[in-house]
Amino acid sequence: SDEDSWAQYESCEESDGGNGSGGEDNGEQFDATLPSRHVYLGETQELRGRTVQDENDYVTIPLLLHNSLMNLVLIPTQTLPMTIFHPLHVSMLRNVISKDRTFGIVHTKLNQDGNSEMARYGTTAEIYEYQEEELTGALTIKAKGRQRFKVMSTRQETSGLIVARVKILPEIRMECPFEMVRLRSLDKLTLPRPQEDKPYVAHSRDLVTVRTANSWLVRGRNAWLTPWPSWVYNQYDDLLLAQRLVNEIKKTTMIQPNLLKLPRDPQELSHWAAINLPLDDSHRLTLLGLNTPTQRLRYILSVISKCKMLICVRCNEVIGDTADIFSMSVEGPQGTFVNPGGYVHEMLTLTKATNLTYNGRPSIQHSWFPG
């Protein structure tokens, strides 16, 4: 039932330690943290500090419009590794590192006329590690997606770089609709809603199960005090939407949420799903323009409930099934990587794929796969 699955979701730390071994060692133990560390890039220098812009503020930031980044939609919390060779972009990133370490990533694509077309929404990227190659002059960076923004205007400087004036989009968290009308005497029977300023306190499995069941009962009674039945409010409750998304992931993929430790917070879960689930670029751009986790979770649920097959965007051949998606990384089944030539691409791991044509010889360079 939904109540039981939510109870398991809340107490996932207590299940098998997250090692995924199933109690048997059938071969080499793969280090699932390797993909997220991007160790294939070599040793890098760590940068400290954090830059956070105020919501709804208008700021001016440089945009990195690079050929290797075309068709990339950066999502907040997503890791972006890059190797830059072009002197103009290397100079720009050096200047960024010396200041607030923040630049903008905006999705671009070629239109029917062959010209580059820029999206309205983008994400700030903050550099947290970098390394300069003295011999080639290349610059390797690791950046993290931070805040969503809307492009208000752009201008091209004499150097050729694009600078944009952007509006930092807010993250709006909708309050529980029963907050003002609830029966406060029943609060002690329910699980508290997680709050950003308070750390999560783990409960025993039995206590979570009992309080989860009580929460549903109390929620139904609170709805009696409103003009609408409880099922109407359930469609817009971010915690219940997060629960539904976790259940859908468990049903339609080989991903084990308890092993991956999916985020509990609806906002973080909405970003995780946008990064790791096989969504089209147009869907991700739509998600960038939505300011509440409730809207994003509802949109993601609508998309993944209809899309079960993975299809090539060029030939429209079926290449995989969502049921074959699994994860080799602690961050999720899909990640962003950079190859030796500096081209940034996203990789999704499946147990099997069909209708593929191999190009070139096998290579272990820039690879973290065992074997």
CATH of 47-168, picked from 3.40.50.170, 2.30.130.40, 3.30.70.20, 2.60.120.10, is 2.30.130.40
Looking at the predicted structure, is the pLDDT value of residue 55 above 50? yes
Looking at the predicted structure, is the pLDDT value of residue 124 above 70? yes
Q: Going along the chain, which residue ranges are E strands?
A: 45-46, 58-63, 79-84, 102-110, 116-132, 139-156, 162-168, 309-311, 318-321, 334-338, 344-348
pLDDT digits (tens, 9 = 90+) for 126-138: 999 999 988 888 9
d(CA 57, CA 149): 10
Residue 47 Cα distances to 83, 91, 291, 303, 362, angstroms: 17, 18, 29, 38, 35
Identity of the amino acid at 85:
F
d(CA 321, CA 303): 15
Predicted confidence at residue 202, as pLDDT, reads 42
SS3 assignment for 304-346: HCCCCEEECCCCCCEEEEHHHECCCCCCCCEEEEECCCCCEEE
**Locus of tokens 């109690």:** 23
Dihedral sign for Cα 344, 28, 272, 245, please: positive
pLDDT digits (tens, 9 = 90+) for 137-153: 899 999 999 999 999 99
**Locus of tokens 């949109």:** 299
Q: What is the mean pLDDT of residues 200-213?
A: 42
Counting beta carbons within 10 angstroms of the beta carbon of residue 167, is it exposed (0 to 12), middle (13 to 18) or buried (19 or more)? middle
Looking at the predicted structure, is the pLDDT value of residue 94 above 50? yes
Six-digit token string for 333: 């089944």
Percent of the chain past pLDDT 70, that is, above it, reads 77
Residue 278 Cα distances to 35, 71, 148, 236, 284, angstroms: 18, 14, 20, 24, 10
Looking at the predicted structure, is the pLDDT value of residue 82 above 80? yes
Predicted confidence at residue 196, as pLDDT, reads 44
Residue 1 pLDDT grade (very low, low, confident, very high; cuts 50, 70, 90): very low
d(CA 19, CA 29): 10
Residue 341 pLDDT grade (very low, low, confident, very high; cuts 50, 70, 90): confident
191 or 164, higher pLDDT: 164
d(CA 237, CA 177): 8
- 116-132 and 344-348 beta bridge pairing: unpaired
pLDDT digits (tens, 9 = 90+) for 69-79: 777 899 999 99
Predicted confidence at residue 93, as pLDDT, reads 94
75 or 13, higher pLDDT: 75
Q: Which of 195, 239, 178, 265 is nearest to 5 (CA)?
A: 239
Counting beta carbons within 10 angstroms of the beta carbon of residue 82, is it exposed (0 to 12), middle (13 to 18) or buried (19 or more)? buried
Six-digit token string for 293: 């986790």
* Residue 344, CB-side half-sphere exposure with 13 Å CA sphere: 27
